[in-house]
Amino acid sequence: MTTAALKNTRLVVALLAAGAIGGAGVSAFNAVHTASYAAATPAIAAAAPIQAVAPPDFSQITERYGPAVVNISVTGTTKVSNDSAFAQGDDDEGTQGDPFFEFFRRFQQGQGRPGGPQQEMPTRGQGSGFIVSADGIILTNAHVVRGAKEVTVKLTDRREFRAKVLGADPKTDVAVLKIDAANLPVVALGKTSELKVGEWVLAIGSPFGFENTVTAGVVSAKGRSLPDDSSVPFIQTDVAINPGNSGGPLFNARGEVVGINSQIYSRSGGYQGVSFAIPIDVAGRIKNQIVATGKVEHARLGVAVQEVNQAFADSFKLDKPEGALVSSVEKGGPADKAGLQSGDVIRKVNGQPIVSSGDLPAVLGLAAPGDSARLEIWRQGAARELTARLGSADQKVAQADDPKTSAAQGKLGLALRPLRPDEQQEAGVESGLLVQQASGPAALAGVQAGDVLVSVNGTPVRNIEQVRAMVAKSGKSVALLIQRGDSKIFVPLNLG
């Protein structure tokens, strides 16, 4: 949706699929620590004493639920160039998931050795999973079984079964397998909504093929959105994830599965202390759809959103920099039909607060097409309520940009002019001003000549005089909606 020039430069780090939780050593508070803290800060300690908490006994959880965790072996094929065949290797996704394989393949091609005729090469991979019903229903990651021709499930009692992939959903990275067995051990499922940051968590999986490896740590955060267009509100933990642990269960201290271990955040390609799990609430909804129909449908609101920072909060007169700022609305989509506009800030959905923009797809990810969503929004300094009937993400809607946005001059450092009819038609907007030159605050924010100013502080712009008047009445910052090509983005400008 956005372009690179309108973004702050940031370090891109690899999101690598793997999935396990590993031993980050954590010590509990004890009575000595509490007493010394209270002596140093008696007022704080008296108001909120900290109780000593012993770590849970993970051996009981492992003994009871370990037999329900399985090892998954996958065989398949992938197409590679003849001169890339040397790079074959094993990990939990085969060579397709091996960052070193991909690096050397691109390096070869960059040296003037483009891939020759492609041929099919065998791939092997390993992952983890867990049994959720005694008749053989198993949950794992979709990337573990992607491209698989044969899937084998191995139990802790060493029995092996050929598994059928009932369905896989790449959007949430959840897959459902079925083996022909009965009276199998099963895990207990918990509720991610009841999970707290700082809680102890435990994982069992098969890192590097070491079956039934137990690792532990704590919940670092909830509701994390990742830069991969995912609608999953990930659980972040501080425990190690390694190849082969993908698809394994994340237990809370009560022995309930609260997530499926899925990804790591890394600059090196290895575990660096930040790992992510798919909430079991999301996985359970996907599993129920696959078991019932063999496919998955996702709800769609039909908006593009971005973060609300302090500059936007000041510009839109919000009390806090919270919510999801709507940068564009899909023409004819559910949001458009409900009356949602570019420049609105979505603050709640069905009563659930939207603190960051990533909270919105996470909330909608638990809804189904056809559900009603009650939206509490902020528009031009006032709170409003709208109700949208969610559509299906599979439905194709003709894309058209929402024609409401702005431009500015003077303190903004922008030289503007009205759009010619052909420019207006090409941009697909009803109103707006063409940026002829950007300097000062606008240039620092990334605005460029050729951009179209669509709105100021959420109000569509029609002429330069209107922009001057709005900027004159603004405080220390303004929010400009800029269109570049087919993309729109709100840009905060500090007026000093």
Active site residues: 143, 173, 246
C-beta separation of 151 from 183 below 8 A: no
Other C-beta atoms lying within 10 Å of the C-beta of residue 191: 13
What phi and psi values does residue 230 have, to the nearest 5 degrees?
-85, 145
Q: What SS3 class is residue 167?
A: strand
Nearest residue to 359 via CA among 271, 259, 246, 233: 233
Classify each residue of 370-408 as buried b or exposed e, where b means 16 or more C-beta atoms within 10 Å of its C-beta: eeebebbbbbeeeeeebebebbebeeeeeeebbbbbbbb
Residue 74: beta bridge partners? 125, 151
Instruction: Determine whether 342 is exposed, middle or buried from the number of CB atoms within 10 Å of its CB (0-12, 13-18, 19+).
Output: buried
Q: What SS3 class is residue 299?
A: strand
Enter the tokens of residue 94: 């085969």
CA dist 239 and 264 (Å) reads 10
C-beta separation of 201 from 251 below 8 A: yes
The upper half-sphere exposure of residue 165, i.e. CA atoms within 13 Å in the direction of its Cβ, equals 22
Q: Could you say which DSSP state residue 173 is in?
A: T
CA dist 143 and 19 (Å) reads 11
